[in-house]
Amino acid sequence: HELRTPLTNIRLFVEEALEYCEKDPTAVSRCLNVINDESQRLDRSVAEILSVSQIEAGSFEVKRDDVHVDEMLQKLKVDHEAQAKEKRIAYEFDLPPKLPTFQGDRDKIALALHNLVGNALKYTLDGGRVVVSAQVEKTRLSVSVTDTGLGIGPEEIEKVFEKFYRSKNPMAATVKGSGLGLPIAREIARLHGGDILLESELGKGSTFTLILPVAEEKA
Ligand code: ADP
């Protein structure tokens, strides 16, 4: 479904753009915007499916880069500001003055955090609040994403980390998704020796916490 819907939309809007290409440039640009959004969605879905296949094949590997946590969180903030603004969601960061640099797969950890923040914004109603906070204790970094969104009932707390699982909550079902974001994010955390924990209350909101060991290497 997550592959077919964007493809169908791309095909339909390409046909429409071709039909209007001579007489109505605004209609064409509207079509191109839809095609642009839908191709990005398709690109993300294909990448998720590839990641899941790699996880299953045991070939989902982590690289070892310098992960600058402050830069990563700064980018996380900027990347989701438009999405938050569109829904009038207060999107806040509460960070300690000093954040570590550690060895890990920069792109994969960033992807896991983007999935958590993207979900918090998707599953929170207009006018809500999403807060990203971080704590460092000795050799452990925790990044929490707290939202005032739909929340998740106790019977679904573990299920949402299963591949393709999407909540039975009818409000959540209206939001587009593949059910792959959380299993991939948890696998990324576990490959780094960490995990993702979830606390949630239906109707109130959720906190997803990414925990990572961050032993800084001695020079
Ligand atoms: P997707 O969002 O693409 O469906 P995920 O694997 O990221 O897939 O999430 C699985 C399910 O967990 C979602 O379908 C949704 O029902 C639930 N979920 C995830 N994040 C949240 C959140 N912050 N608040 C409420 N429900 C959530």
Q: Kindly report, residue by residue over 48-103, the tens digit of the pLDDT.
A: 999 999 999 999 999 999 999 999 999 999 999 999 999 999 999 999 999 999 99
Residues 6+ apart with CB under 8 A from 48: 178, 180, 181, 184
- Per-residue tokens: 88: 């009038």
Atom in ligand 1 nearest the alpha carbon of residue 184: 6
Residues 6+ apart with CB under 8 A from 52: 163, 180, 183, 184
Residue 205 CB less than 6 A away from ligand 1: no
* Ligand 1 centroid distance, CA of 159 (Å): 10
Q: Please check whether residue 66 is in contact with residue 214, taking contact to mean a CB–CB distance below 8 angstroms.
A: no
CA distances, 113 to each of 106, 116, 117 (Å): 11, 5, 6
Residue to substitute in 5, 119, 165 for testing ligand 1 pocket (most ligand atoms within 8 angstroms of CB): 119
Closest C-alpha among 136, 139, 142 to residue 216: 139
pLDDT in tens, 165-199: 999 999 998 998 889 999 999 999 999 999 999 99
* Ligand 1 centroid distance, CA of 167 (Å): 7
- Per-residue tokens: 14: 């390409």
Residue 179 CB less than 6 A away from ligand 1: yes
Atom in ligand 1 nearest the alpha carbon of residue 165: 10
- Per-residue tokens: 142: 């925790």
> Looking at the predicted structure, is the pLDDT value of residue 217 above 60?
no
Taking the whole predicted model, whether its pTM rises above 0.85 is answered as yes
Measuring from atom 8 of ligand 1, which residue has the nearest CA?
A: 179
Atom in ligand 1 nearest the alpha carbon of residue 124: 24
